[in-house]
Structure 1
Amino acid sequence: MSSPIPEPRGPNVGSELLVVAGDEALMLTTAHRTIVAADIVDFGQHSRNNINQVRIRHGMYKAMQAAFDAAGIPWSSCRHEDRGDGVLVLVPADVRKTLLADHLPNALVEALVRHNRIHPPRERIRLRLALHAGEINYDQHGVTGYAINHTFRLLDADATRSALKKNSSAVLAVIGSAWFFDEVIRHSELSQAKAYRRVEVSNKETTTHAWVRLLRPPVMRRLHAPPNP
């Protein structure tokens, strides 16, 4: 399910392209977008029934919307397309990319922790999140483009999947493309760039490197009772 966002217009949109497909002329609109792809870890595991999956999907969307809004990226301004066990989000070009590097990861962890605190183990959520940017093509069916393919290759890479092992306490693995890390993450003092580690990615036709960061729930400070008199 995609959000009811109209075709892109404005100064950040490229010119329309006329593409001939057989005996049809197709009009494509191109635009630069920041790309966010999310995927639920072990969504289809056997212990989860259909009702569990519905609650997990609802929790993922609720967490994503809350995190985007908290990071200063209005969810309503983005285009989002359902991917079954995940979601594709296209962020307008006039939204600062530093917001996704600096604030979105921690805000998403907080939202996931809120969900997991009130749900049983079978309905708790851990996410993989990929960050990239590039040119997107809009047509009458939706969106496509090399940059979107590249983002999902990173999201599905073994390096990303292995980061969230079953015994890991992390609830979020963020993978930034080489471009996104070099141009955005490493230039920001708030992005925790040193927490990312470089990984090699080989997935289908994609061979590249990227940068992965694991985020765990914040440690709750225990209040110690006063000593006995």
Structure 2
Amino acid sequence: MGYERPAVHRTIFAVDVEGYGDPRRTTPHRLALREGLYSALRRAFDDAGVPWADCRNEDCGDGVFVLVPPEIPKGPFVEFLPNALAVALHRHNLTHDAGARIRLRMALHAGEIAYDDHGVTAPSINHSFRLLEAPPLKEALKTSRGVLALITSAWFFDEVVRHSDGLDPTTFRPVSVAVKETRTTGWISLPDRPFPADAELLATAGPGGTVAP
């Protein structure tokens, strides 16, 4: 029998491993990679003060999707967690050969999540995965010397990043995201190899991240 639960506004966190399907990775490589990924995530969540055990996480094979309890503040997900995750990834990569090393794309969004007998569903979840697959995010990570590239939704940037005392929003860059049916703006940062601060760019960005000509 189906049941209904009220929709709840939650932080949505997702990561995807760059090059997970590379044929040069063996099964032992992937097993070591996955163990390292979960270890890095748990450490980063702990360092950011977010209880990993209280979050709902789903394995995606080459990544992880996390729903955060609604009572947990959103600020730590941009103020502390990305840097902590980058540090944990660097530690892992220093002790593993190339096939088991990890570089991640990370997406942050928030929205109403609905529940049914099969789990969770929401346009906001689809939106988060479209951000994660955005070509500009893949290119940003590919050309970076770091291990992590973060993209936030326009909502998350406007409501959380812009108002944070714990990070510099002028190090984020707006990009157009066109993946499947999604057409939106995302904001990219490179936590361990940040873009130069650009206050003028931020000042010209309108609602939703639209950059004035």
1:55 maps onto 2:55 in alignment: no
Q: Shift of residue 162 of structure 1?
A: 1.0
Deviations 1:42-75 (A, max 9, x none): 0010110111011111111110110001001010
Return the alpha-carbon distance in structure 2 between the equivalents of residues 201 and 191 of structure 1. Answer: 24
Q: 1:45 aligns with which of 5, 14, 22?
A: 22
Return the alpha-carbon distance in structure 2 between the equivalents of residues 92 and 25 of structure 1. Answer: 23
- Alpha carbons of 1:160 and 1:27: their partners in 2 closer, same or farther (altered >3 Å)? same
Return the alpha-carbon distance in structure 2 between the equivalents of residues 57 and 182 of structure 1. Answer: 33
Q: Shift of residue 101 of structure 1?
A: 1.3
In the alignment, structure 1 segments of 5+ residues that lack a partner are 1-23, 219-229
> What does 1:209-228 align with in structure 2 at a 5 Å threshold?
209-216=185-192
1:137 maps onto 2:125 in alignment: no
Report the TM-score when normalising by structure 2. Answer: 0.87
Cross-structure match for 2:152: 176
> What does 1:105-120 align with in structure 2 at a 5 Å threshold?
105-120=82-97
Q: Shift of residue 168 of structure 1?
A: 2.8
Cross-structure match for 2:170: 194
Return the alpha-carbon distance in structure 1 between the equivalents of residues 63 and 6 of structure 2. Answer: 25
Cross-structure match for 2:130: 153
Q: Is the 8 A contact 2:83 2:192 kept in 1?
A: no
Q: Shift of residue 217 of structure 1?
A: 6.8
Q: Shift of residue 28 of structure 1?
A: 4.1
Q: Would you tell me which structure has more helix in proportion to its own residues? A: 2
Q: Shift of residue 192 of structure 1?
A: 2.4
Letter in 1 for 2:145: S
In the alignment, structure 2 segments of 5+ residues that lack a partner are 195-213
Any idea what SS the aligned residue of 1:119 has? coil
Identity %: 51
Q: CA RMSD in A?
A: 1.5
Higher Rg: 1
Cross-structure match for 2:52: 75
1:36 maps onto 2:20 in alignment: no
Which moved further from structure 2: 170-179 or 140-149? 140-149
1:102 maps onto 2:74 in alignment: no
Q: Shift of residue 115 of structure 1?
A: 0.5
Q: Is the 8 A contact 1:109 1:217 kept in 2?
A: no
Return the alpha-carbon distance in structure 2 between the equivalents of residues 124 and 112 of structure 1. Answer: 8
Report the TM-score when normalising by structure 1. Answer: 0.81
Cross-structure match for 2:201: none
Letter in 1 for 2:160: V
After the TM superposition, list the runs of 4 or more consecutive aligned residues in structure 1 that deviate by more than 4 angstroms.
none
Cross-structure match for 1:162: 139
Letter in 2 for 1:158: P
Q: Is the 8 A contact 1:110 1:217 kept in 2?
A: no
Q: Is the 8 A contact 1:78 1:89 kept in 2?
A: yes
Q: Is the 8 A contact 2:174 2:188 kept in 1?
A: yes
Q: Shift of residue 29 of structure 1?
A: 4.1
Return the alpha-carbon distance in structure 1 between the equivalents of residues 123 and 5 of structure 2. Answer: 15
Letter in 2 for 1:36: F
Letter in 2 for 1:155: L
1:87 maps onto 2:45 in alignment: no
